[in-house]
Amino acid sequence: MHSALVHFVSFRDDRYWNAVRVWGLPDMIHEAWDRYAADDTAPGDIVIFAEGAWNQEPRSFSVEAARSREARRIGRETSG
């Protein structure tokens, strides 16, 4: 039998500690709600979002890949 895990998503400020007061320390922390994070959850797990609706769709891998490519391009342009 699976014991429910608590996942925190996109916490970057004092809201993290507010959530800890309510839910306790998370079992997993996810930087963003994407397919990787969604795949880490199991039925019955509790997912706490720093922002947004409880039923938001995870971002696709292609969106994340495009953002990563753009960040690398900008990094190359500013460092050279």
For the cut 90, the answer to whether the pLDDT of residue 79 exceeds it is no
Q: Is residue 1 part of a domain?
A: no
- Model confidence at 78, pLDDT cuts 50, 70, 90, reads confident
pTM of the full structure: 0.72
What is the span of the domain harbouring residue 43?
Answer: 6-79
pLDDT at 61: 67
- Residue 18 CB coordination number (10 Å): 12
Domain count across the chain: 1
pLDDT tens sequence across 10-56: 998 999 999 999 999 999 999 889 888 999 999 999 999 999 998 99
Q: What is the DSSP string of 54-72?
A: TTPPPBPHHHHHHHHHHHH
Q: Is 80 helix (H, G, I), strand (E, B) or coil?
A: coil
Phi/psi of residue 14, each to 5°?
A: -65, -15
For the cut 70, the answer to whether the pLDDT of residue 63 exceeds it is no
